[in-house]
Amino acid sequence: MKQGKLIVFSAPSGSGKTTIVRHLLRQEELNLEFSISATSREKRGNEVHGKDYYYLSLKEFKNKIKNEEFLEWEEVYRDNFYGTLKTEIERIWAKGKHVIFDIDVSGGLRIKRKFPEQTLAIFVKPPDLNELVRRLKDRGEESEEKISMRVAKAPAELATAPLFDEIVVNESLETALKNAYDLVSGFVNG
């Protein structure tokens, strides 16, 4: 099978990485397809199975870990498992496309270590922690408790930024979108 490239976007949640990834997916000339992760977390509001995630029960998820079906997986929050199925990458490469990931920092770095030459790993940095909290609250999809859980992880996640190939600061969204586009375009065409 012909292998394509892997574009990883990682960041603390609320940094705006999902917005950036969605924007890039709309740029047809980049020839990207989203890697749909599997997760054991509950489905939120408008999310769709097989589009945003493959939603699995905790038991199903653990079975797939045991059967070595994951390229990488992580217990991002307690009992909330997330992972990339090997079949997902194969599915996208078989279509002749490059894979774009929206995953947590450890998962992102693991993919970079597995495929060092083929991967461009980009860290999306929020302007500061207060802004991160504000964005998570504005999103209005989760309880205070869940938001606190996400914010608590942010400092450790921010500390991993230097391990990525590139950092995009999301202060002005417009500038962040342009910077991300230029990096990805240079990599897939290079």
Footprint of ligand 5GP (CB under 6 A): 13, 37, 41, 72, 74, 76, 82-84, 102-104, 106-107
Residue with tokens 């942010």: 154
Q: Which is nearer to ligand 5GP, 29 or 144 (CB)?
A: 144
Q: Which is nearer to ligand 5GP, 28 or 145 (CB)?
A: 145
Contact 69, 87 (CB under 8 A): yes
Tokens at 107, concatenated: 């998962």
- Is 95 within any annotated ligand binding site? no
Beta-carbon neighbour count of residue 5 at 10 Å? Answer: 20
**In the complex, what is the shortest distance from the CB of residue 88 to ligand 5GP, in angstroms, rounded to a whole number?**
9
Q: How far apart are CA 141 and CA 139, in angstroms?
A: 6
- Is 57 within any annotated ligand binding site? no
**In the complex, what is the shortest distance from the CB of residue 24 to ligand 5GP, in angstroms, rounded to a whole number?**
15
- Is 43 within any annotated ligand binding site? no
Q: Which is nearer to ligand 5GP, 142 or 165 (CB)?
A: 142
Q: Which is nearer to ligand 5GP, 106 or 189 (CB)?
A: 106
Q: Which residue is nearest to ligand 5GP (CB)?
A: 107
Q: Count of alpha carbons within 13 Å of 32, Cβ hemisphere only?
A: 26
**In the complex, what is the shortest distance from the CB of residue 17 to ligand 5GP, in angstroms, rounded to a whole number?**
7
Q: How far apart are CA 33 and CA 24, in angstroms?
A: 10
Characterize the bridge pairing of strands 80-85 and 37-39: antiparallel
Contact 24, 32 (CB under 8 A): yes
Q: Which is nearer to ligand 5GP, 33 or 74 (CB)?
A: 74
**In the complex, what is the shortest distance from the CB of residue 96 to ligand 5GP, in angstroms, rounded to a whole number?**
22
- Is 127 within any annotated ligand binding site? no
Beta-carbon neighbour count of residue 170 at 10 Å? Answer: 24
Query: Binding-site residues for ATP, please?
Result: 11-18
Query: Binding-site residues, please?
Result: 11-18
